[in-house]
Structure 1
Amino acid sequence: MPRFLLILSGSLTTHIQTNALLQTIYTAIPRKQTAIDTAIELKNSKTLMLTTKNMKSRKVHMSPYTLPTYYLKKNRLWLVCLCASLLLSACGGQSDNNTENSLTAGTITQAPQNNYSSNCISNFNQWSPSPEKPAIQLLGNKVELLEMGETYIESGALASDEQDGDLTTSIVIVGAEELTTTTQGDHMIRYEVTDSDGNSALPIYRIVRVFKDTPPSGSKRLFSEVDSVMEYWEHLPTFLGDDPNRLYPLVVYAHGWSTSKEFETSSRAALLDTLPIVQIIKTGEWDNSLPMVVVTPQRCWSSVDQYQMDALNTFINWMVRNYPIDEKRIYLTGLSNGAWVTWEYLRAYPNVIAAAAPIAGYGDHTQVCTHKHVPLWAFNAVDDPTTHYPNVVNMVSNLLNCGVGRYPPKLTIFENGGHIISDDIYNLNFLNLGLPEYDIYDQSIFEWFLEHERH
């Protein structure tokens, strides 16, 4: 099989820039409908080996300020270099509207440096429970309901430490004084404490819902308000808080390529507002009878690596600790690059998710047996120009070959829809559609989620 050797020069050979380059090459290469006939391999920090069935070997030296786009036509290579004054990692990437899986060149240990990625870290110890850390326990309800204009009365909390004993008087409450009940909103009150050795407790939160008729449809949680590993947009069921003892299912939506922090141009995580599932909820297309908490965590960068899986797992654990979440009913779905995140997270953490729904994306088909016990429903369209549906068929076929038992994976292939089919799946526009040789989309994906819990 011929190989194509690309040698990078200059200062653009970091992991982030390499992955952006890989994504550009990968999405531009035509693939046959029957199999992937392209392989890209990172040889070292400056050399990429690209192997295809229909290319002759070539070496291309790139200047450090060019963004390559490749087209193959009649076994010839056409190289178009779009000159830019920015570094490659800032030159773009694609949105949820036109991308599939990025290609990773290995585990990334540092976050891309832009104005909004300073909270991206290299380890997650600060979110891990430890016997040395003090413990905080809320008094009163985890979720408080207030009508507009009603005065918020703080219920307080208790804190203790094995060495210092009672630390209740040392608790710092953040957000209570700023809380206003003159407008609708879901507010987070944070409780912190530190012992005499400087060990900080895992902060805990109380949710205060201020409403007139019904609570708001959603809220954005920024680092200025919460200590989670990722910023996120959330939707809480309208009735969350009515029963103080009730736990709720959690739906985690994994976003696509260019919604990550490396493409962020706003300090308020504005890209999260553009996500399909967020728009469906905001525009009233969401079924408010669904008893689900929905969150859309914003990843530090778009490449899919073990760091991102650990970060997502830390985020899920944070949600379980600070929201009334049923740990047995955590669901994962994502579009495009987010579908790859879905597949990869199932591989990395096969015992967390109760059911999953990757849309228009695929992962490593050789690793699917690790999560064969997790109910899964995959979706794609025949006319998807980005994620070719046979690749998704191959993923599900390999999963079936693992010997799944109680819940065989489901696969729905739509004849039309292009790449962005999540909207039509989530809002049920595609209900009862799908090629007959695969599974018909005959049930809301969210209702299907609720049929499953982790055992």
Structure 2
Amino acid sequence: MAQLFELRNFVNSKGEVLPYRILKPLDYDPTKKYPLVVSLPYGGQPGTDWIRQIEGSVAAELLSTDDNRKKYPAFIFIPHCPPGSGWGGIPYYPSIDSLVFDAISSLNTQFNIDSERRYVTGLSRGGYGAWNFICKRPDLFAAAIPVCGGGDTALASRAISVAVWAFHGKNDKNVPVSGSRDMINAMKNAGGHPRYTEFPDEGHNIWYKTSITPGLWDWLFSQRAND
């Protein structure tokens, strides 16, 4: 998988560096616009091992297969997280979310990305990040798939313009199921219309069921900002 993705560095105005990997659409045509999928790695990989971190980008792994690249032509973006940091949404834990937002915006100057079809997804730490990203920068994303994550319910109202399909296992001992339930309820109370799938007999390891949920990927790639 690492061989498919190009390793790059983004440097912001402060000199902060974000290593990331990006995969172009199959048969990329620079005259056409393509969606962008931001796949946030979960925790557990060494922060300095840029190959091992890709293993935590579960959506990127699935969408980079030949069949899915043909079915869902898109740019796939995997940011790398330094040791001791995260994507935001976890209290008292350092976040590099602003740096990632700047890197995402910079891609518009390099590739023909459809600004109305940017998506974010992640599992566990990445699930928290997906919630955080759409709450902090709802203008950047048309849709999100947070998996066994959680977020700040006080910010949920900011994300009601973003299409959300969240997933969680009822018996999750790593990330309490209340994390997803509370965010979903907060969005609904603010006027949003998120989708939520809870697996009643599953714990934290739900990606194998999430990834084969009927209609999930067709739903994601059909979403457009301002629809």
TM-score (norm 2): 0.83
Q: What are the equivalent positions in structure 2 for 1:343-354 lying under 5 Å apart?
A: 343-354=131-142
Identify unmatched segments of 5+ residues in structure 1.
Answer: 1-215, 432-441
Distance 2:22 2:202 in 1: 27
Could you say what secondary structure the match of 2:115 adopts?
strand
Shift of 1:218: 2.1
1:293 equivalenced with 2:75 (yes/no): yes
Which structure: larger Rg? 1
Which residue of 1 is the match for residue 51 of structure 2?
270
Q: Distance in 2 between matches of 1:306 and 1:385?
A: 23
CA offset digits 1:275-325 (Å, max 9, x no partner): 223443566574531021111111234342685221111111122221221
Is residue 145 of structure 2 the alignment partner of residue 363 of structure 1?
no
Larger helix fraction of residues? 2
Residue 38 of structure 2 is matched in structure 1 by: 252
1:449 aligns with 2:211: no
Deviation at 1:351, TM superposition (A): 1.3
8 Å contact kept, 1:248–1:326: yes
Residue identity in the other structure for 1:258: G
After superposition, the C-alpha distances for 1:181-219 in whole angstroms (9 at most, x for unaligned) are xxxxxxxxxxxxxxxxxxxxxxxxxxxxxxxxxxx9821
Q: In 2 relative to 1, CA 249–388 (structure 1 residues): closer, same or farther, beyond 3 Å?
A: same
Larger RCO, structure (CA 8 Å, separation 6 or more) = 2
Deviation at 1:409, TM superposition (A): 0.5
C-alpha displacement of 1:345: 1.6
Equivalent runs, 1:19-30 vs 2, <5 Å: none
Q: Cα offset for 1:361?
A: 0.5
Q: What does the per-residue CA deviation read over 1:390-427, in whole Å, with 9 as the maximum and x for residues that have no partner?
A: 331121011100123xxx1000011234313234323x
Aligned to 2:85: 302
Residues 257 and 302 in structure 1, CA contact (< 8 A), matched pair in contact too:
no
Q: Which amino acid aligns with 1:416?
A: D
Separation of aligned partners in 1, 2:61 and 2:141: 24
Q: Distance in 2 between matches of 1:416 and 1:283?
A: 29
1:413 pairs with 198, 210, 217, which one? 198
1:380 is aligned to 2:168: yes
Aligned-partner residue type, residue 421 of structure 1: I
8 A Cα contact 2:37 2:76, kept in partner: yes
Measure, in 1, the Cα distance between the counterparts of 2:70 and 2:197. 25
Secondary structure of the residue aligned to 1:345 is: helix
Give the match's secondary structure for 1:376: strand
Length-normalised TM-score, structure 1: 0.43
- What is the CA–CA distance in structure 2 between the aligned matches of 1:403 and 1:264, rounded to whole Å? 38
The answer to whether the Cα contact below 8 Å between 1:331 and 1:353 also exists between their aligned partners in 2 is yes
Which of 398, 402, 410 is the aligned partner of 2:186?
A: 398
Q: Secondary structure at the match of 2:54?
A: helix
Structure 1 residue 321 and structure 2 residue 109: aligned? yes
1:274 to 1:240, Cα distance in 2 relative to 1, 3 A: same
Tell whether the 8 Å contact from 1:232 to 1:272 is kept in structure 2 after alignment. Answer: no
Distance across 2 between alignment mates of 1:315 and 1:219: 16
Partner amino acid for 2:47? E
CA 1:279–1:374 in structure 2 vs 1: closer, same or farther (change >3 Å)?
closer
1:311 aligns with 2:82: no
Q: Secondary structure of the equivalent of 2:121?
A: strand
Partner AA of 1:424 in structure 2 = K
2-structure distance, mates of 1:352, 1:281: 21
Q: Secondary structure at the match of 1:313?
A: helix
Q: Which runs of 5+ in 2 are unaligned?
A: none
What's the secondary structure of 2:150's corresponding residue? coil
- Distance change in 2, residues 1:231/1:415 (3 Å): same
Task: Report SS of the residue matched to 2:18.
Answer: coil
How many residues are aligned here? 214
Distance in 2 between residues matched to 1:351 and 1:324, nearest whole Å: 18
Aligned to 1:330: 118
The residue aligned with 2:26 is 238
Gap change, CA 1:409 and 1:218, over 3 Å in 2: same
**Is the Cα contact below 8 Å between 2:39 and 2:78 reproduced in 1?**
yes
How far apart, in 1, do the equivalents of 2:18 and 2:166 lie? 26
Distance 1:347 1:388 in 2: 20
Q: Cα RMSD between the aligned structures?
A: 2.5
2:210 paired residue number: 425
Taking the aligned partners of 2:42 and 2:167, their CA distance within structure 1 comes to 15
- Offset of 1:245 from its aligned partner? 1.4
Q: Give the secondary-structure state (helix, strand or coil) at the position aligned to 1:230.
A: strand
Looking at structure 1, the residues matched to 113 and 42 of structure 2 have their Cα atoms a distance apart, in angstroms, of 25
CA contact (8 A) 1:350 1:374 kept: yes
Q: Distance in 1 between matches of 2:119 and 2:105?
A: 13
